[in-house]
C-alpha cells in the first residue's frame, strides 16, 4: 500500500479513529505538570520537520538526477545532449497552475524580482506589501530601487484589503507600480476585494505564492489570479529542489520582460518577442528542473496529506479555551502548510511557545514575531518615517506557528493535540 493511501485513513470521525481506540493509561497528576515546570514531556522524540516535498524524495528524483548527469548537459540552453528538463517543467507547471506562461528561475526571490520588474517596478517607485512576510518581500522591492509601503494584515495573517484601500486613499505621490500580495503559510489572501482595488486604481497585483504552491482561492489555483504569480522551491516549500523558483503569467509582454531579466537580456528562440534590455543571470539548471518535475508529480499527494492532517487538528482544537485559530478566507482552498493560532496576549504567546517546545511540539513565533519593517535587513536601509501598523503588531505578537508536513503519523497528530491542550490548560 502506498504511503498516501495509508495517510488517507486518518479519519475525521473521532469515534472511528484508531487513535481514540488505542487504550491509554489514566493521566496522573505528574503527567499534567508542564515539562517546562519539570513534568514529563508529551513527546521525547522530535516531530518530523516541516519539509513537505523533501521528506518524500525518493527513486523518481534519483532517476531524474542521474538522467541529467548522464546527459552531461546541466545547462538548460546548450550542451552535448540537452534533455530540455527546464522547458518541460515550465510547460507542466504552467498547465498545473492554469497560466499560459511559466518561467523557471534559480530562487523564489529571483522569481519575485522578475515579476516586479516585469510590471515596471524600478528606481523611485512604490510597491504596496503586507506588513508581515519573509524578508525577501521587502528585500526585492528595495533591490530594484523602489520603496515598500506597508499594509496591515488581518486575522488571516495576509494583506488586509480594508487597509489597502485606506493606504491608497491617503497616498499622495505618484501611482504605485504594484501591489504584492503574499499567500502566507499556505493560506490564500482574500483576493476578490484586493483585485477589485487593484483594478480600480489601475495597479497590477503580484501574487507571492512562495509558501502556498497548490493552494486555491474560490476554485482557482493561486498564482493565476493577478498579473503574475511567483513560487519558491526552497527546501521547506511544498515542492522542492533545495532551491529554485518560478513566475507564471498570462501576459506575453510580462513574460518576455521576465525572461529577458533572468537571462542577460536574451529571449532565446524568440528574440523578436519584445524589447532588448539589460538582464541578469537568474537561470535554473537542468538538474534542478529534473528534480522539480519529479516533485511536481507528487504535488497532489503532498497537498492531500497536509490538508488531511490540518483538518484533523482543526477539528480537535477548535474548542480549546484561550486558543483562536487564524481565519482562512477560503477554507476549501487551504494548502494545509501550517496550523496557526492566537492566544490572548503577547506574554501568553511567549509562554505558550516556550512550553510547547518543552513538550516536544515544535512551534515558534514566525520571523521572530517581528513585522517586515522591523527585520534587521530592512531596518538597515533606514526607511523613514517608520510605518505604524498597530493591528499587525498585535496579531503577530499573539500568533503561534506550527509547520505541518507530509509524514505525520496519527500518533504525531494526537501528540500535537495533547500537547496544545495540556499547555493551554496550564499556561
Active site residues: 237
Residue 6, CA distances (Å) to 262, 280, 313, 324, 374 in order: 42, 46, 18, 30, 43
Cα-based distances in Å from 53 to 58, 165, 301? 10, 37, 10
Burial class (CB in 10 A: 0-12, 13-18, 19+), 318: exposed
CA–CA dist 253, 273 (Å, integer): 8
Give the strand pairing for 126-130 and 178-182: parallel
- On whether the CB atoms of residues 335 and 53 are closer than 8 A, the answer is no
Backbone region of residue 378 per phi and psi (left: phi > 0; alpha: psi in -120 to 50; beta: other values): alpha
User: Which cell goes with 201?
Assistant: 486604481
**Whole-angstrom Cα distance, residue 344 to residue 325?**
12
Amino acid at each position: 500500500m502506498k504511503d498516501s493511501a495509508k495517510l488517507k485513513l486518518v479519519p475525521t470521525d473521532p469515534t472511528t479513529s484508531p487513535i481514540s481506540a488505542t487504550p491509554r493509561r489514566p493521566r496522573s497528576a505528574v503527567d499534567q505538570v508542564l515539562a517546562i515546570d519539570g513534568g514529563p514531556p508529551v513527546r521525547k522524540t522530535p516531530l518530523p520537520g516541516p519539509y513537505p516535498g523533501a521528506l518524500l524524495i525518493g527513486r523518481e528524483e534519483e532517476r531524474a538526477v542521474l538522467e541529467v548527469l548522464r546527459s552531461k548537459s546541466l545547462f538548460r540552453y546548450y550542451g552535448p545532449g540537452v534533455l530540455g528538463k527546464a522547458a518541460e517543467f515550465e510547460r507542466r507547471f504552467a498547465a498545473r497552475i492554469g497560466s499560459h506562461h511559466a518561467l523557471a528561475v534559480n530562487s523564489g526571490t529571483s522569481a519575485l524580482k522578475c515579476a516586479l520588474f516585469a510590471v515596471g517596478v524600478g528606481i523611485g517607485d512604490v510597491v504596496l506589501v503586507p506588513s508581515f512576510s519573509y524578508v525577501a518581500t521587502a528585500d526585492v522591492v528595495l533591490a530594484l530601487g523602489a520603496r515598500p509601503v506597508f499594509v496591515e494584515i488581518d486575522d488571516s495573517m495576509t494583506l488586509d484589503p480594508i487597509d489597502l484601500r485606506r493606504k491608497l486613499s491617503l497616498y499622495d505621490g505618484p501611482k504605485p507600480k504594484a501591489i504584492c500580495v503574499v499567500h502566507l503559510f499556505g493560506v490564500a489572501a482574500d483576493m476578490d476585494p484586493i483585485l477589485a482595488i487593484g483594478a480600480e486604481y489601475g495597479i497590477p497585483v503580484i501574487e507571492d505564492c512562495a509558501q502556498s504552491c497548490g493552494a486555491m482561492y474560490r476554485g482557482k489555483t493561486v498564482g493565476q489570479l493577478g498579473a503574475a504569480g511567483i513560487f519558491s522551491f526552497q527546501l521547506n516549500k511544498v515542492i522542492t529542489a533545495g532551491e529554485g523558483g518560478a513566475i507564471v503569467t498570462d501576459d506575453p509582454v510580462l513574460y518576455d520582460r521576465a525572461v529577458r531579466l533572468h537571462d542577460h537580456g536574451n529571449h532565446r528562440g524568440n528574440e523578436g518577442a519584445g524589447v532588448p534590455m539589460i538582464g541578469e543571470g537568474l537561470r535554473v539548471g537542468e538538474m534542478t528542473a529534473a528534480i522539480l518535475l519529479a516533485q511536481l508529480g507528487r504535488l497532489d499527494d503532498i497537498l492531500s496529506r497536509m490538508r488531511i492532517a490540518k483538518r484533523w487538528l482543526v477539528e480537535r482544537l477548535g474548542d480549546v479555551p484561550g486558543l483562536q485559530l487564524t481565519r482562512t478566507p477560503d477554507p476549501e482552498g487551504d494548502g494545509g502548510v501550517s496550523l496557526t493560532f492566537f492566544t490572548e496576549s503577547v506574554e501568553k504567546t511567549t509562554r505558550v511557545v516556550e512550553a510547547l517546545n518543552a513538550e516536544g511540539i515544535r512551534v515558534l513565533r514566525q520571523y521572530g514575531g517581528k513585522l517586515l519593517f522591523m527585520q534587521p535587513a530592512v531596518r538597515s536601509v533606514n526607511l523613514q518615517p517608520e510605518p505604524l501598523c498597530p493591528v499587525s503588531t498585535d496579531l503577530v505578537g499573539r500568533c503561534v506557528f506550527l509547520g505541518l508536513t507530509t509524514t505525520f503519523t496519527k500518533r504525531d497528530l494526537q501528540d500535537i493535540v495533547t500537547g496544545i491542550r495540556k499547555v493551554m490548560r496550564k499556561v
